[in-house]
Structure 1
Amino acid sequence: MKKCLWGLIFLACALSWVRSQSRYCGDEKCPTFYKQVGSNCVYVSTKTKLNWQEARETCHSIDGELLTLPDANSLREITLYLQVLGISEEHFWIGAYDIGHEGTWRWIKDNSDVSMGTPFWVFSGAHEPTGKEKQNCGAIDKNFGGHMNDRECHLDLYFICEYVGK
């Protein structure tokens, strides 16, 4: 009797955990290649590293754009998703940039302003972005717990696309 009771308790706990993770299990609303993460359909590249522009072109080829993180909750959701996938120890291009307007960071998807400071950007003695003219493309940085960092656009990194449609 005790074994059955403990078995049922374990099963109930396991089922509860699986349900809590369901936001990372995909969704019929997301097209091929994409998985539901928070309110976005995202594709996470883990096989091919590309520079920022090539990553953007690859996103376009699957009706996407490099990922926009409009609020802290979006950053948290994607960081948790990368941890669930077991790939949080990588750098990933996202759609933040300041090419052509140094110091004014924008999202490539809609040209809106990127939130600056905590909790988005890394603080490592000074708030990122600190790369000035050399680092004009945004990435989720593995070295800083999934916060954003500015990187040199020519570097080859994994990348994250969000579905934007045709």
Structure 2
Amino acid sequence: MKKCLRGLIFLAAALSAVQSQSKYCGNEKCPTFYKQVGSNCVYVSSKTKLNWQEARETCHSIDGELLTLPDANSLREITLHLQVLGVSKEHFWIGAYDIGYEGIWRWIKDKSDVSMGTPFWVWKPAGHEPGGGEKQNCGFLDKNYGGCMNDSECHREFYYICEYVGK
């Protein structure tokens, strides 16, 4: 009984210490809700599925934006993170889009070009994605292809990944 009580007291003290820390945590100081993944502070939503625009607005509400993957290393890091979380078998919205400029993929955060081809986009026998034409304008990490990027209709509901951008 005393061991159990001491364990509960230790746990309560540890929780209190965590709660009393500043809103930043980890070596790179990610804000509340976010975890350090490579050089980014990311929030992975695996509880609520939203359409692309709703996911984007939710990211904004926590000072974030849908995730940008500027290089192959960033893609690898987030894919590994999803595996560690046990959610790699889900689709996740990210910040890639070609709305209004068919075939010209940009990152929503800074309007920079999205890297095309391998290893970023899903490859199928018919060729690389994105291949959805004018109907599929929003990017996501595709659970069926090891977390590579794919395009979909923006109204579909997937989980989403935010990256911290500040206020």
For Structure 1 versus Structure 2, the TM-score category normalised by the shorter chain is 0.7 to 0.9
Identity %: 84
One-letter amino acid matched to 2:40: N
Partner Cα separation in structure 1 for residue 92 and residue 102 of structure 2: 21
Does 1:139 pair with 2:140? yes
Q: Which residue number corresponds to residue 116 of structure 2?
A: 116
Normalising by the residue count of structure 1, what TM-score does the alignment of the two structures yield? Answer: 0.84
Q: Which residue number corresponds to residue 73 of structure 2?
A: 73
Unaligned runs of 5+ in 2: 1-24
Q: Deviations over 1:121-158 (max 9, x none)?
A: 00011100000001000000000010000011000000
Partner Cα separation in structure 2 for residue 28 and residue 74 of structure 1: 16
Report the Cα offset of residue 89 of structure 1: 0.1
Report the Cα offset of residue 26 of structure 1: 5.0
Asked if structure 2 preserves the Cα contact closer than 8 Å seen for 1:27 and 1:35, the reply is no
Normalising by the residue count of structure 2, what TM-score does the alignment of the two structures yield? Answer: 0.83
Q: How many residue pairs align between the two structures?
A: 142
Unaligned runs of 5+ in 1: 1-24
Per residue, is there more strand in 1 or in 2?
2
Per the alignment, do residues 100 and 84 of structure 1 end up closer, same or farther by CA in structure 2, a change over 3 Å counting?
same
Partner Cα separation in structure 2 for residue 116 and residue 47 of structure 1: 30
Partner Cα separation in structure 1 for residue 161 and residue 56 of structure 2: 9
Partner Cα separation in structure 2 for residue 162 and residue 151 of structure 1: 21
Q: Which residue number corresponds to residue 162 of structure 2?
A: 161
Q: Which residue number corresponds to residue 107 of structure 1?
A: 107
